[in-house]
Amino acid sequence: MRKLPVFSAAIVLAAATLGALSSPSATALQPPVGITADNLSTYQTNGVVWAMAQANGVVFAGGTFSAVRPAGSAAGTNETPAANFAAFDAATGAPTGCQLNFTVGSNNATVRALAVSPDGSTLYAGGFFGQVNGVGVSSLAAIDLATCTVSTTFHPAVSGTVRTIAATAGAVYFGGDVTSVGGTARGRYAAVDTSGALLPWSPDADNPGRALAITPDGQDAILGGDFNTVGGTASHSLAVVDTSTGALVKAYPPGFIDATSVTKSIYVDPASNAFYTGNEGTGGGVFDGRIALSLTDFNQIWRDNCLGATQTVAVYGTVLYSGSHAHDCSSMGEYPDSTRKHLLAESVTDPHLLSWYPDTNDGIGEKIGPRVMTVSSSGGTDYMWVGGEFTTVNGAAQQGLTRFSNGADTGAPTLPQTAASSIDPGSVKVTWQSSTDNDDGTLTYRVYRNGGTTPVYTVTGDSKPWIRPQITFTDTNVTPGVKYLYRVSASDGTNTSALSPNVAATVPTTAEAYPTQVLADGANLYWRYDAASGSYNADNSASDDSGISVGGPVHAVTPGAVPGSKAYTFNGSTQWTYSDRQHPTPSTYSIETWFKTTTTSGGKLIGFGNLPTETSGNYDKHIYMTNSGQLIFGVYTGTTRTIATPGGGYNDGAWHQVVATQGPNGMRLYVDGVLKASNTSITTSQNFNGYWRVGGDNLNGWPSQPSSNFFAGSIDEAAVFPTVLSASQVANQYALGTAP
């Protein structure tokens, strides 16, 4: 049986590649991912778990807590006292009989590092404590695992908190805030033999150590931490030293890791001949990601620059798992600055995210989330345990501890959000937002019609939590005047979602004039806002560029702007819609929407911003309303450039069409089919990747800035075109939209 390791804090335009595929049906746990995202029932703590280790099917957790409780129990209920340490059955998640209390007089003790000897007989614990079960120690202790008793002879007098431990057959290496051992000065790192006697090993770092690992041949120790020098030589945050002498073997000069970034975790993987670091930075422009380095020459193989304080890294199989609060992985071609994701996976050979997205929240304390991982085997199943500050896992209450396994995948994909529409006598367009599955990126979808049990369409599609492409089925086996019902399911190959609620479409006997013309004019984004509920807004164009509504705008507002349509009403503060897909800046485009409002606070109607779910830092190509009801079209060229309607009054409670265009002939602004303003000299705009947004976004710094950045009122028929609409096209669309 292979030895299972301990992993602890001590030790962009990708959407174009996603969507409907013609590949075989989805299968659960897509290789190389080997751990499911389904969290298992596990005891909880009432505080933070900082350290973990494992041996013989038992997982040890240390930290800053005073009690444990069963899964599902609320804080303060069904608690069992546990002073900063607990041992658990790896397979059941329940406590074992090994109970050790780590205390330090009237102060707050903490366990920050745990490591097991190579033969599995001894657990070494480090932190800040003075007693273990009444036995006097000094921040470092040895526990006999067979009897769960503390050694009374192993008690080196360590000055300073121990934050990392690595044990070999003959020595215990440790680091942290250490300044001396038994009165002998040490610079942050030290080593003792298995009796507790101080060894001459002294790398002499100038600032605290956070991580420590030994190379497979036992010749070198890899150090990580806050330091800037090791043995008097410049080496920031990372260094390799000789395990016998402590002499520097490999330095990493300032700049290799950003000056305000530190190494929090190191994991050595002999199978890939590499070691991996997890890093945390402070401030802007820092390094928060992971680095892979060769065990042959200790040089970098790759790094990812995800932002979000990586605390722990772990290799299982050929996958590097990590715990962090990563919020921006756009630098590696993944998600832009957005909601934090706390558990991620990437190949050991390729720094791109794999389909593994279980999640925690930030939790308590420093609000980082996960802090430590370990893997233990029991009964032929491997269990990945995660500890930290979190108080929820996969959306449910669970504090301090959780675990996953390489067992059966039991989680089904989310329910597809589905829409159906028909604007011509020959077809019904059925669309849905791709589902998510935390450990499967490719899913199989089945479409059922009129209550049938045999699918009329089956397709596979790729998605990620931050990119959920629209998938479309066009049903041409229809009869004019007949109403059809559709439902969709999603499957990962093992688990299948429930069927989505029925969506209906009645096939018209003649083509609907307005939407038919919008599509004929070339719209590559067309949100009709006809949904009855949900956050998904179908794109009726061929681009499948669906929208996601934030904040729950009011749906199914009637009458809509054009014959037969419905609309959404936005509250002017917390509601908007963004394109699920990120776009490069267009050089030629038209934007259009219909609106109705009586607001005197103005707001943005439609525009382009660099963030989907937050207020954008880059924003232009937008139409906004002033407090007086005037309409302004603006772009940014190093300065704000705008054109505006001659007056206000468009906040009169009536439906209005507004269209803005930009291309080689400059900017134009139309209202209700009529040209209201133009400037032939402004042919460029700010260049950034972004999202189309309707209903609001940043307007700071723009002329006649309204009281509100967000629009209060009804919006319908939002569209984007990759061309400049002509005056006659705009007028024709208005005429069709207002025809009785």
List pLDDT tens digits, range 262-271. Answer: 999 999 999 9
Distance, CA of 368 to CA of 281 (rounded, Å): 12
Q: Tell the residue number behind the tokens 């070339």, with chain if given.
A: 522
Distance, CA of 49 to CA of 270 (rounded, Å): 27
Domain boundary, last residue among 475, 491, 510: 510
Alpha-carbon 13 to chain mean position: 16
Residue from 207, 208, 202 nearest 221 by CA: 202
Predicted confidence at residue 13, as pLDDT, reads 29
Reported as a single tens digit per residue, the pLDDT across 418-447 is 999 999 999 999 999 999 999 999 999 999
Distance, CA of 367 to CA of 390 (rounded, Å): 8
Distance, CA of 463 to CA of 177 (rounded, Å): 45
Distance, CA of 4 to CA of 382 (rounded, Å): 9
Domain boundary, last residue among 464, 481, 510: 510
Phi then psi for residue 46, to 5 deg, are -105, 20
Distance, CA of 278 to CA of 254 (rounded, Å): 17
Reported as a single tens digit per residue, the pLDDT across 459-505 is 999 999 999 999 999 999 999 999 999 999 999 999 999 999 999 99
Looking at the fold, whether 453 and 506 belong to one and the same domain comes out as yes
Angle at 253 between CA 251 and CA 254, to 5 degrees: 145
Reported as a single tens digit per residue, the pLDDT across 541-594 is 999 999 999 999 999 999 999 999 999 999 999 999 999 999 999 999 999 999
Question: Given the DSSP bridges, would you call strands 319-326 and 312-316 parallel, antiparallel or unpaired?
Answer: antiparallel
Residue 104 domain flag = no
Residue from 209, 161, 214 nearest 189 by CA: 209
| Domain with 440 in it | 409-510
Domain boundary, last residue among 510, 526, 543: 510
Q: Are 104 and 128 in contact (CB under 8 A)?
A: yes
Mean per-residue pLDDT for 65-84?
98
Residue 278 domain flag = no
Return the DSSP state at 138. S
Residue 284 domain flag = no
Structure tokens at 333: 């071609």
Looking at the fold, whether 615 and 554 belong to one and the same domain comes out as yes
Distance, CA of 454 to CA of 447 (rounded, Å): 9
Amino acid, res. 459: V
DSSP per-residue letters across 53-111: EEETTEEEEEEE-SEEE-TTPPTTSS-EE-SSEEEEETTT--B-S----EE-TTS--EE
How many CA atoms are closer than 13 Å to the CA of 73, on its beta-carbon side? 17
Q: Sorting pLDDT into bands at 50, 70 and 90, what band is 5? A: very low
Predicted confidence at residue 8, as pLDDT, reads 38
3-state secondary structure of 119: coil
Instruction: Give the chain's length.
Output: 740
Residue 472 CA: distances (Å) to CA of 181, 198, 437: 68, 69, 19
Residue 458 CA: distances (Å) to CA of 25, 437, 446, 465: 9, 18, 5, 22
- 621 strand-pairing partners: none
Distance, CA of 90 to CA of 384 (rounded, Å): 9
476 burial type by CB count under 10 A (0-12 exposed, 13-18 middle, 19+ buried) = exposed
Looking at the fold, whether 535 and 439 belong to one and the same domain comes out as no
Looking at the fold, whether 587 and 532 belong to one and the same domain comes out as yes
Over pLDDT 90: what percentage of the chain? 94
Residue 166 domain flag = no
Distance, CA of 593 to CA of 568 (rounded, Å): 12
Distance, CA of 76 to CA of 247 (rounded, Å): 50
Output Rg (C-alpha) for the chain, integer angstroms: 30
Over pLDDT 70: what percentage of the chain? 96
Q: Which residue has the higher pLDDT, 317 or 105?
A: 317
Amino acid, res. 466: W
Answer whether the bond into residue 118 is a cis peptide, omega within 30°. no
Give the dihedral of Cα atoms 140, 143, 149, 154; nearest 10 deg. -50
Mean per-residue pLDDT for 495-521?
98
Q: Tell the residue number behind the tokens 């929090």, with chain if given.
A: 264
Q: Tell the residue number behind the tokens 């030994």, with chain if given.
A: 214
Looking at the fold, whether 571 and 538 belong to one and the same domain comes out as yes
Q: Tell the residue number behind the tokens 């605290």, with chain if given.
A: 208
Give the dihedral of Cα atoms 387, 392, 397, 403; nearest 10 deg. -40
Domain count, the chain: 2
Residue 482 domain flag = yes
Looking at the fold, whether 498 and 615 belong to one and the same domain comes out as no
- 64 strand-pairing partners: 48
Looking at the fold, whether 501 and 549 belong to one and the same domain comes out as no
Distance, CA of 606 to CA of 609 (rounded, Å): 10
Residue 724 CA: distances (Å) to CA of 588, 635, 637, 668, 732: 6, 15, 19, 9, 15
Question: Is residue 27 predicted with pLDDT exceeding 70?
Answer: no
Distance, CA of 628 to CA of 21 (rounded, Å): 49
Helix (H) or strand (E) holding 516: helix 513-520
Looking at the fold, whether 494 and 537 belong to one and the same domain comes out as no
Residue 396 domain flag = no
Distance, CA of 46 to CA of 75 (rounded, Å): 7
Residue from 376, 338, 209 nearest 613 by CA: 338
Looking at the fold, whether 538 and 528 belong to one and the same domain comes out as yes
Amino acid, res. 36: T
Reported as a single tens digit per residue, the pLDDT across 288-308 is 999 999 999 999 999 999 999
Looking at the fold, whether 544 and 640 belong to one and the same domain comes out as yes
Looking at the fold, whether 464 and 554 belong to one and the same domain comes out as no
Phi then psi for residue 203, to 5 deg, are -65, -30
Amino acid, res. 322: S
Residue from 318, 321, 289, 285 nearest 303 by CA: 289
Residue 24 CA: distances (Å) to CA of 29, 310, 408, 460, 662: 15, 35, 21, 7, 43
Question: Is residue 228 predicted with pLDDT exceeding 50?
Answer: yes
Predicted confidence at residue 338, as pLDDT, reads 84
Looking at the fold, whether 517 and 505 belong to one and the same domain comes out as no
3-state secondary structure of 15: helix
The per-residue pLDDT of the chain, averaged, comes to: 95
Amino acid, res. 639: T
Predicted confidence at residue 285, as pLDDT, reads 80
Structure tokens at 149: 């008793």
CATH number of the domain to which 426 belongs: 2.60.40.10
Task: Say if pTM beats, i.e. exceeds, 0.85.
Answer: yes
Helix (H) or strand (E) holding 733: helix 727-738
Reported as a single tens digit per residue, the pLDDT across 117-170 is 999 999 999 999 999 999 999 999 999 999 999 999 999 999 999 999 999 999
Structure tokens at 411: 């989680």
CATH number of the domain to which 631 belongs: 2.60.120.200
Residue 589 domain flag = yes
Residue 71 domain flag = no
Q: Tell the residue number behind the tokens 């304390």, with chain if given.
A: 365
Q: Sorting pLDDT into bands at 50, 70 and 90, what band is 30? A: confident
